[in-house]
A = this chain, B = another copy of it.
């Protein structure tokens, strides 16, 4: 059972010192004479040498590892962002340690500890709970940190995510433009996740300027309950004075869109006549009969920016103010917000 060659063996084989070999692999080839470079390259090839990242990480703290903590790995949005993060890592020669918390704050703490024990050089956090204290301790220690999608009050760290206000504005504009006048905003419980709060707030704030009326419903219970609430919204009598005003649902994210669509179909609603729009573009949104209108997030860009922000961190100087990178969504208009259909 052969063992991997070490830097010492390569040095001997190349007739050089381990320092030179180290330099060669650390990308300081310009400091070496071409002849030496060549000898080292040949020797390394002959021995099939690969630097041991564990040893590297031990010495200088240069693990070349990035940790990513995801609240729900089965959420397509998270996966899409992860795809962008992964690609950016690859370009930088970084490896990605992925942990999924399944929205469990307890697990989040555990995984945070796990990742730091691997001396990660940076952390991308899509928080499920409020590990503010733990995270602040890490930044204090000089560990670059980026918040993904979800803000965390007490932590000074860059945030990368959607421009939630803009997203809601775009949605409201689109719905108003299409002729819908009464809206029902559907969301998961907004307590723990900042984007949910931001979106909900903006929704409520954005109604009057557009002469819309609307209300919000927080999903918590069963599909049945959701369906009942949607039905109540759709069937209640129009406010006096106004005639029949078209009604629409606005879904706060992909999971909600799924549940709402299920409910609407169960109620036998005709999409379009009943408006339906969701944040997050999903595979199947084009499939459901007239197509479901969505707001697509630039997930790839978000992922790449997360790594960019991480690497831009001056490392030790914590003086750099926390930045926000808010990305703009794109409206993908389909039949579910077309009244004429």
Give the interface of A toward B (CB within 8 A): 1-4, 50-55, 57-58, 63, 65, 73-74, 76, 79-80, 82-83, 86, 90, 95-100, 107, 110-111, 113-119, 140-142, 258, 261-262, 265, 282-284, 286-289, 316
Contacts and interface: CB of A to CB of B under 8 A. Distances in A.
Contacts of A79: 73-74, 79
A261 B262 CA distance: 18
Q: How many copies does the complex hold?
A: 2
Contacts of A111: 90
A287 B140 CA distance: 48
Contacts of A98: 86, 96-98
Contact of A140 (B2, B97, B117, B258): B2
Given A142-B1, A283-B284, A95 B113 contact: no
Given A73-B86, A83-B100, A99-B86, A50 B287 contact: no
A95 B115 CA distance: 8
A97 B96 contact: yes
A100 B119 contact: no
Contacts of A58: 52, 54-55, 58
A80 to B, nearest CB: 7
Q: Which one of A55, A116, A289 has the highest number of Cβ atoms from chain B below 10 Å of its Cβ?
A: A55
Contact of A284 (B51, B90, B96, B258): B258
Contact of A95 (B3, B53, B80, B118): B118
Given A58-B58, A83-B74, A2 B50 contact: no
Closest 9 CB pairs of A and B: A284-B284, A54-B57, A98-B98, A54-B58, A53-B117, A53-B118, A54-B119, A50-B117, A1-B142
A128 B287 CA distance: 28
A108 to B, nearest CB: 12
A136 B296 CA distance: 43
Contact of A80 (B57, B74, B80, B96): B74
A95 B96 contact: no
Residue picked from A83, A113, A119, A287, most chain B C-beta under 10 Å: A287
Contact of A258 (B1, B95, B119, B283): B283
Which of A100, A115, A262 has the largest count of B CB atoms less than 10 A from its CB? Answer: A100
A80 B287 CA distance: 22
A54 B118 contact: yes
21 contacts: A2-B141, A50-B116, A50-B117, A51-B117, A52-B119, A54-B54, A54-B118, A54-B119, A65-B118, A73-B79, A74-B79, A74-B80, A76-B76, A95-B99, A95-B118, A96-B97, A96-B98, A96-B99, A258-B287, A261-B287, A265-B287
B53 A119 contact: yes
Nearest to A98: B98
Nearest to A4: B141
A107 B91 CA distance: 11
Given A58-B54, A95-B115, A97-B95, A107 B83 contact: no
Given A1-B140, A1-B316, 9 more contacts: A2-B141, A50-B117, A51-B117, A54-B63, A74-B79, A86-B99, A262-B287, A265-B289, A284-B288
